[in-house]
């Protein structure tokens, strides 16, 4: 069995925050792959769903311990199901990636992310991290307000496309092929290419402006 963890803060007031994009991604995976209806458990403390992806049993977890204590729920789940850290895939927001960029790797540091810091302290560092770019506000002092603010209406298009791409590509990652996973996500999130007729129309428009 593999465990997919979507980081975020519990409660409706946080559900649209940038900090909750990991939890949003797990929700989309549950929807796309026909997992069981989410259910809440007191131990491990979180919201769980179960399903099969490419013949592999997968359980999703959205911790109810708040971001800074995510490791408690993840550690309890790992021990409850007798998993190894490399069986765990943590999806989380990433300030150091531009919006819509996604990266994945096994192991690494927490880079100041409090959710990852907590998980590291409970299970070590040898788990998979799926970094979902939300962009940086440009000033360290604005980081907290940035991640705890809802995505704007203008963000909706790229957010929806990213979540859909992650749900589509997740079978690659569950097979430990991070390169195929990120390549598939990049392909699905790239802007549509302009058609030749559109290019000609744009060129014509620019030509008229120069006259």
Distance (Å, whole) CA 22 – CA 157: 17
Paired tokens of 170: 């997740």
Task: Answer whether 51's CB lies under 8 Å from 26's CB.
Answer: no
Distance (Å, whole) CA 134 – CA 101: 8
19 catalytic per annotation: yes
Torsions phi, psi for 4 (to 5 deg): -105, 120
CB contact set of 14 (below 8 Å; sequence gap of 6+): 8, 20, 148
Tell me the CA distances in angstroms from 100 to 71, 124, 156, 190, 191, one per residue in order. Answer: 26, 28, 11, 9, 11
What SS3 state is found at 65? coil
Catalytic residue, from 19, 33, 113, 172: name it.
Answer: 19
Active-site residues: which are they? 19
């Amino acid at each position: 069995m593999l465990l997919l963890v979507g980081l975020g803060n519990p409660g409706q007031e946080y559900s649209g925050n940038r900090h909750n994009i990991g939890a949003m991604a797990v929700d989309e995976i549950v929807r796309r792959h026909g997992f069981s209806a989410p259910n809440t458990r007191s131990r491990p403390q979180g919201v769980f769903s179960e399903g099969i992806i490419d013949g592999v049993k997968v359980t999703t977890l959205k911790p109810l311990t708040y971001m800074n204590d995510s490791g408690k729920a993840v550690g309890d789940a790992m021990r409850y199901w007798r998993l190894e850290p490399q069986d765990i895939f943590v999806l989380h927001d990433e300030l150091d990636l531009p919006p819509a960029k996604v990266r994945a790797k096994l192991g690494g540091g927490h880079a100041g992310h409090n959710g990852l810091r907590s998980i590291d302290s409970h299970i070590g560092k040898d788990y998979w991290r799926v970094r979902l770019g939300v962009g940086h506000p440009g000033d360290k002092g604005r980081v907290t307000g940035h991640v705890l603010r809802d995505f704007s209406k203008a963000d909706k298009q790229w957010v929806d496309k990213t979540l859909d791409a992650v749900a589509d590509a997740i079978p690659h990652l569950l097979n430990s092929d991070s390169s195929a996973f990120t390549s598939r996500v990049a392909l699905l999130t790239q802007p549509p290419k302009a058609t030749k007729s559109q290019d000609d129309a744009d060129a014509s428009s620019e030509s008229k402006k120069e006259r």
